[in-house]
Amino acid sequence: MEKPNRIIVSRTDSIGDSVLTLPLCGQLKSLFPEVEVVYYGKSYVKDVVMQSSHIDEFLTFNESSSLGEIVEQLLSVQANTIIHVFPRKLIAHAAKKARITNRIGTGGRLYHFTTCNMRVQFSRKRSDLHEAQLNLKLLKPFGFDEEPGFEQLQTLYGVRHANVINDKQIILHPGSRGSAVDWPLEHFVDLANKLIDEGYEVHLTGTEEEGQSFRSAFSFGDRLVDHSGQMNLSELIEFIKTSKALVACSTGPLHVAAMLGVQAIGLFVDIRPIHPGRWAPIGQNAHVLTPKVSKNRESIADIKPEAVLRLILGADYTGTN
């Protein structure tokens, strides 16, 4: 292997996945302090990824790009190493065509046998490891063959923790854009009402489409505010930084909150492949709630609003439920 100088980390999927790839970037900086890390991802994750001090450059992947256009992109970076964290056949072929010296991918993709000269054998579907731990498996060609625990992983984000400005400000993020099993909307409404009764301000976030699906269920007022469809990602990140807690299912904003050190309360069912063992938020103030028995996806309804309230209020909560 040629010693890395600039490394392209290719992860062209969603926000949460990108957050969980940042520890890999942090570990690269630990292994090679002088190396430059170029993150190759979709444009909408840039504001999240660039929160990390480990990222030196962001390269935007466009779904409509041709093989030739991607080759030119990769050549412009002048990297001698690429890590295919999220496998894409077109990018793998482009990296080979661009003659990137070190091309690292998984052994489970047939096209990696002809496009990658370093392949790591592991299965994400059959593994009990967390997504962030699985990502680090791709560093084996560099001699790194460890499985860091959550406490170590959270130190590898390269992100300064938020300075919570309003400890009465709670974010509820009811939607997931299909990336998770959604908690029932009536539970979010019940939780919002309970939080308001305890003196909190409740702020709902999400896309415009998500807002259209939940707005009619809430009675908005001074202490219940709808921000859905009104914030871009950069604005949402800054808003999360000022808040005490964020409650959501397994979706991007949950992982962002955890990364920033804000109390992140994730609602999951313990069923593969969507179980928290694989997708839990990682952070010093991250929490996961699951039903006592996860029979099926509908079991998420068995997580009661009182359980979330107890986490937010902590010792201050004297409720009986």
For residue 118, the model assigns a pLDDT of 98
Residue 15 or 162, more confident: 15
pLDDT above 90 covers what percent of the chain?
A: 90
Mean pLDDT of 143-149: 95
Comparing CA positions, the residue from 60, 282, 252 lying closest to residue 175 is 252
For residue 8, the model assigns a pLDDT of 98
Which residues are 221's β-sheet partners? 224
Q: Residues 231, 254: contact at Cβ < 8 Å? A: no
Q: Residues 184, 213: contact at Cβ < 8 Å? A: no
For residue 293, the model assigns a pLDDT of 94
Residue 320, pLDDT > 50, answer no
Residue 237, pLDDT > 60, answer yes
The SS3 assignment for 57 reads: strand
Q: Residue 140: pLDDT band by 50, 70, 90 thresholds?
A: very high
Query: Distances in Å between the alpha carbon of 252 and those of 29, 177, 191, 291?
Result: 24, 10, 21, 21
Q: Residues 22, 258: contact at Cβ < 8 Å? A: no
Residue 211, pLDDT > 80, answer yes
For the chain, the first-to-last Cα distance in angstroms comes to 59
- Predicted TM-score (pTM) of the model is 0.95
For residue 318, the model assigns a pLDDT of 44
What stretch(es) of the chain map to CATH 3.40.50.2000? 6-156, 166-313
Q: Per residue in 111-127, pLDDT tens?
A: 999 999 999 999 888 88
Question: What superfamily would CATH give domain 6-156?
Answer: Glycogen Phosphorylase B; (3.40.50.2000)
Q: Per residue in 166-184, pLDDT tens?
A: 899 999 999 887 778 999 9
Q: What mean pLDDT, rounded, does the chain reach?
A: 94
Which tokens is 117 given?
């000269």
Question: What superfamily would CATH give domain 166-313?
Answer: Glycogen Phosphorylase B; (3.40.50.2000)
Which contacts (CB < 8 Å, 24+ apart) does range 68-77 have?
Answer: 70/94, 71/97, 71/98, 74/8, 74/98, 74/100, 77/6, 77/8, 77/38
Q: Per residue in 268-305, pLDDT tens?
A: 999 988 899 999 999 999 999 999 999 999 999 999 99
Residue 319, pLDDT > 70, answer no
Q: Per residue in 50-85, pLDDT tens?
A: 999 999 999 999 999 999 999 999 999 999 999 999
pLDDT above 70 covers what percent of the chain?
A: 98
